[in-house]
């Protein structure tokens, strides 16, 4: 194309320089993360973080590295445990995904609402759909399931089927 | 709340200013809003779970129906993630056409919004004009894809339909008309006192709050945040297009209007570039039925803000997990702040100004005679006549309606 003068091209060769710096910054601040950070492609960085370090890593990413947006939280059912992915973004266009493992039947991570107010709905979503036990989530309306939804029914868990809901309604 | 002067007013879940379910509980002191809580989820349909039970291709049609307006946005965000996992190289022409429909969709969405905004402030002339103009772009989308909304244009590996030279010229012609019309709206937004007086200082959201809440799309840009996924995290062919990110420092509904109108003008520029540089070649690459193990996130600047999709493949023909976040989810959380200390009467336009998502699938119909002999377009008078005959067969005679109403009134006296 003729008019690609000033915008940096995606396919420009010396890629991943910003991503590598991000990796180095994270590894310097958190030596435990060495070997846990993956540079998937340009602007896509993944970090496996222990649940206890979530707050420290995310706070550092927000305060020091400019990740001012929490795009969303993706919850997954990993079989033995639940996975939570915190997708962070900032002005550089990089998505830093912080991945933690949370227990299915025990206390989960601390709420991120003090850092990111928008985490409120995202956290309620993983509470409702996957049964993550987010600690310290302020009181408020549930999301997105109806108020009369039976307790202990987590539709996004892999073993959940619609029939389980019908059985639970009959018992109630 | 202990203050006796404060009363709580529920707004919604049915039709809270817009044709979309959501519940807002407003605490009012007189006419002023002191606090507000939101209850969402009335539209939860379990689409993410349903995606895990269908093939990758089926999911595309399902995700397309998340929203009638941003349907191409959701499918693009989704196929981009799938294509990344499966390492499918989409041919350049496919990416160009994908971007073309994306920008046409933006026109359709922004013109729709302009009409809704006009309607919410009692300026229905603006609604009539902007929706009339919107028909032009809906006709283009219908011509290109076969449908006015839910286009089914994307496929894994590219797009499903190529465009002809005639269609290319039709788009250019309509773009000229639309640009001319949009310039009228831009002038209107700048000079029309009714509009500026009604919208300025309504639904205020500071730049700091945009950053704090992560507000996205035109709502964020209208508070001076120069952030647009098309620039920051370019996808499709946006890195090859020349366009400006439109922002405003008004930080209110007026600013949100200026930004959307400004974005329309940028979009026309982009459409001309796409059609001028449209490369020759195939429009799609062959995609495997089974997608390998892997995961990807995909971002997309939808008309309303950032769409965020996550897809994880497990080596089968069905995804392990699909996660969707639409822009309204984050922008909605800024509405209580916009409404703080505002007047109750400002609620509809403030809510409408974030352009929350609702379905719009009504479409005009072209009738064809089943026999085929007289197939063609029916005139409005003819359709009306058919309707009258249809009801006559069922014993309803509209000609006698007034007479029957009168006798009915007599009976119930």
Q: Of B119 and A171, which is predicted with more confidence?
A: B119
**A162's tokens:** 């619609």
The per-residue pLDDT for range B209-219, each reduced to its tens digit, is 999 999 999 99
Nearest to A7 among B37, B239, B323 (CB): B239
**What was the pLDDT predicted at A2?**
40
Quick check: is A7 in a domain?
A: no
Q: Domain range spanning residue A51?
A: 17-156
Quick check: is A147 in a domain?
A: yes
- Specify the number of domains making up chain A: 1
Q: Does B245 touch chain A (CB under 8 A)?
A: no
In angstroms, the Cα distances linking B364 to A89, B19, B151 are: 42, 20, 15
**A58's tokens:** 């995310």
Determine how β-strand A133-135 pairs with β-strand A107-110. parallel
In angstroms, the Cα distances linking A54 to A60, A68, A85, A117, B195 are: 10, 16, 11, 16, 47
At A44, which CATH number?
3.30.460.80
Are A67 and A87 in contact, with CB atoms under 8 Å apart?
no
Beta-bridged to residue B29, according to DSSP, are: B6, B32
Q: Do B242 and A40 touch (CB under 8 A)?
A: no
Interface of B with A in 150-209 (CB under 8 A): none
Nearest to A43 among B233, B277, B312 (CB): B233
Quick check: is A2 in a domain?
A: no
Mean pLDDT within B85-97: 97
Of the candidates A91, A102, A36, A40, the one whose C-alpha atom is nearest the C-alpha of residue A67 is: A91
Question: Quick check: B18 pLDDT over 80?
Answer: no
Quick check: is A12 in a domain?
A: no
Q: By mean pLDDT, which of A151-165, B17-31, B79-93, B264-278 is the weakest? A: B17-31
Read off the pLDDT band of A167 (50, 70, 90).
confident
Cβ contacts of A120 on chain B, cutoff 8 Å: 333
Q: Do A72 and B329 touch (CB under 8 A)?
A: yes
pTM of the prediction? 0.86
Beta-bridged to residue B204, according to DSSP, are: none
Report phi then psi at B307, rounded to 5: -95, 135
Distance from CA of B213 to the nearest CA of A (A): 6
With an 8 Å Cβ cutoff, the interface of chain A facing chain B consists of: 1-4, 7-10, 40-41, 43-44, 68-72, 74-76, 85, 87, 89, 91-95, 97, 116-118, 120-122, 129, 140-146, 155-156
The per-residue pLDDT for range B224-246, each reduced to its tens digit, is 999 999 999 999 999 999 999 99
**What was the pLDDT predicted at B366?**
42
The chain-wide mean pLDDT, for chain B, equals 88
Number of Cβ within a 10 Å radius of residue B366: 8
The per-residue pLDDT for range A120-136, each reduced to its tens digit, is 999 999 999 999 999 99
Quick check: is A104 in a domain?
A: yes
Quick check: is A167 in a domain?
A: no
Mean pLDDT within B385-399: 78
Q: Does B78 touch chain A (CB under 8 A)?
A: no
Q: Do A121 and B333 touch (CB under 8 A)?
A: yes
Q: Do B214 and A155 touch (CB under 8 A)?
A: no
Q: Do A4 and B240 touch (CB under 8 A)?
A: yes
Read off the pLDDT band of A14 (50, 70, 90).
low
Question: Quick check: A16 pLDDT over 80?
Answer: yes
Question: Quick check: B192 pLDDT over 90?
Answer: no
In angstroms, the Cα distances linking B270 to B23, B54, B102, B278 are: 38, 35, 11, 12
The per-residue pLDDT for range B59-89, each reduced to its tens digit, is 999 999 888 888 999 999 999 999 999 999 9
Question: Quick check: B396 pLDDT over 80?
Answer: no
The per-residue pLDDT for range A19-46, each reduced to its tens digit, is 999 999 999 999 999 999 999 999 999 9
Q: By mean pLDDT, which of B29-43, B164-178, B246-260, B371-385 is the weakest? A: B371-385
SS3 sequence of chain B: CCCCCEEEEEECCCCCCCCCCCEEEEEEECCEEEEEEEECCCCCCCHHHHHHCCCHHHHHHHHHCCCCCCHHHHHHHHHHHHHHHCCCCCCHHHHHHHHHHHHHHHHHHHHHHHHHHHHHCCCHHHHHHHHHHHHHHHHHHHHHHCCCCCCCCEECCEECCCCCHHHHHHHHHHHHHHHHHHHHHHHHHHHCHHHHHHHCCCCCCCHHHHHHHCCCCHHHHCCCCCCCHHHHCCCCCHHHCCCCCCCCCCCCHHHHHHHHHHHHHHHHHHHHHHHHHCCCCCCECCCCCCCCCEEEEEEEEECCEEEEEEEEECCCCCCCEEEEECHHHHHHHHHHHHHCCCEHHHHHHHHHHCCCCCCCCCCCCCCCCCCCCCCCCCCHHHHHHHHHHHHHHCCCCHHHHHHHHHHHHHHHC
Question: Quick check: B278 pLDDT over 60?
Answer: yes
Quick check: is A9 in a domain?
A: no
**B410's tokens:** 């007599």
Q: Of B351 and B291, which is predicted with more confidence?
A: B291
Q: Do B296 and A40 touch (CB under 8 A)?
A: yes
Alpha carbon distance A27, A29 (integer Å):
5
Q: By mean pLDDT, which of A49-58, A108-117, B22-31, B223-232 is the weakest? A: B22-31
**What was the pLDDT predicted at A164?**
85
Nearest CA in chain B to A142: B39
Alpha carbon distance B354, B218 (integer Å):
8
Structure letter (DSSP) for residue A47: E
The per-residue pLDDT for range A59-107, each reduced to its tens digit, is 999 999 999 999 999 999 999 999 999 999 998 899 999 999 999 999 9
**What was the pLDDT predicted at B7?**
87
Nearest to A93 among B48, B216, B232 (CB): B232
Report phi then psi at A133, rounded to 5: -95, 85
Nearest to B234 among A10, A85, A97 (CB): A10
Q: Do B333 and A3 touch (CB under 8 A)?
A: no
**What was the pLDDT predicted at B378?**
64
Question: Quick check: B281 pLDDT over 60?
Answer: yes
**What was the pLDDT predicted at B158?**
97
Q: Do B39 and A74 touch (CB under 8 A)?
A: no
Tell me the three state secondary structure of residue A97: strand
Quick check: is A35 in a domain?
A: yes
Q: Which residue has the tokens 């007013």?
A: B9
The per-residue pLDDT for range B48-61, each reduced to its tens digit, is 999 999 999 999 99
Q: Does B143 touch chain A (CB under 8 A)?
A: no
**What was the pLDDT predicted at B367?**
45
Question: Quick check: B365 pLDDT over 60?
Answer: no
């Amino acid at each position: 194309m003729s008019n690609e003068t000033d915008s940096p091209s995606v396919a420009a060769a010396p890629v991943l320089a910003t991503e590598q710096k991000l990796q180095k910054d994270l590894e310097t601040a958190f030596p435990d993360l060495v070997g846990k950070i993956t540079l998937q492609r340009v602007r896509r960085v993944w970090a496996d973080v222990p649940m206890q370090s979530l707050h420290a890593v995310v706070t550092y990413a927000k305060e020091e590295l400019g990740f001012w947006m929490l795009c969303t939280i993706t919850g997954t059912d990993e079989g033995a445990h639940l996975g939570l992915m915190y997708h962070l973004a900032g002005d550089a266009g990089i998505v830093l995904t912080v991945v933690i493992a949370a227990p299915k039947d025990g206390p989960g991570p601390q709420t991120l609402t003090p850092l990111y107010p928008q985490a409120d709905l995202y956290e309620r979503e993983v509470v409702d759909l996957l049964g993550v036990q987010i600690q310290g989530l302020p009181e408020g309306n549930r999301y997105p399931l109806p108020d009369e939804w039976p307790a202990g029914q987590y539709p996004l868990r892999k073993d959940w089927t619609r029939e389980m809901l019908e059985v639970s309604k009959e018992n109630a | 709340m202990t203050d006796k002067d404060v009363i709580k007013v529920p707004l919604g879940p049915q039709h809270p200013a817009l044709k979309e379910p959501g519940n807002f509980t407003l605490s009012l002191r007189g006419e002023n809003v002191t606090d507000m809580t939101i209850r969402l989820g009335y539209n939860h349909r379990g689409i993410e779970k349903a995606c895990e039970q269908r093939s990758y291709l089926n999911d595309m049609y399902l995700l397309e129906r998340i929203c009638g307006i941003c349907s191409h946005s959701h499918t693009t965000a989704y196929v981009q993630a799938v294509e990344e996992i499966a390492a499918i190289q989409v041919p350049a022409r496919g990416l160009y056409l994908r971007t073309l429909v994306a920008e046409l969709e933006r026109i359709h969405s922004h013109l729709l919004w302009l009409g809704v905004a006009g309607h919410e402030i009692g300026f229905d002339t603006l609604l009539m004009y902007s929706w009339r103009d919107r028909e032009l772009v809906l006709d283009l989308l219908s011509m290109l894809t076969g449908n006015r909304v839910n286009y089914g244009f994307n496929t894994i590996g590219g797009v499903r339909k190529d465009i002809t030279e005639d269609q290319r010229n039709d788009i250019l012609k309509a773009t000229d008309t639309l640009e001319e019309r949009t310039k009228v709206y831009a002038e209107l937004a700048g000079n029309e006192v009714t509009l500026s007086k009604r919208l300025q200082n309504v639904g205020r959201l500071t730049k700091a709050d945009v950053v704090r809440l992560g507000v996205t799309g035109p709502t964020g840009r209208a508070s001076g945040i120069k952030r647009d996924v098309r620039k920051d995290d370019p996808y499709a062919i946006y890195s090859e297009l020349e366009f400006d990110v439109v922002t405003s420092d008004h930080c209110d509904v007026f600013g949100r209007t200026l930004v959307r109108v400004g974005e329309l003008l940028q979009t026309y520029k982009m459409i001309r570039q796409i059609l001028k540089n449209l490369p020759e070649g195939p429009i799609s690459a062959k995609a495997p039925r089974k997608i390998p193990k892997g995961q990807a996130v995909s971002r997309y600047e939808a008309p309303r803000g950032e769409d965020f999709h996550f897809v994880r493949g497990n080596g089968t023909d069905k995804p392990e997990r699909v996660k969707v976040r639409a822009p309204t989810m984050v922008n909605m959380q800024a509405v209580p702040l916009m409404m703080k200390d505002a007047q109750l009467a400002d609620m509809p336009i403030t809510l409408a100004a974030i352009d929350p998502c609702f379905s719009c699938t009504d479409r005009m119909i072209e009738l064809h005679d089943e026999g085929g002999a007289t197939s063609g377009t029916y005139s409005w008078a003819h359709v009306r006549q058919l309707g009258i005959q249809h009801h006559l067969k069922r014993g309803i005679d509209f000609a006698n309606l007034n007479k029957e109403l009168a006798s009915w009134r007599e009976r119930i006296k």
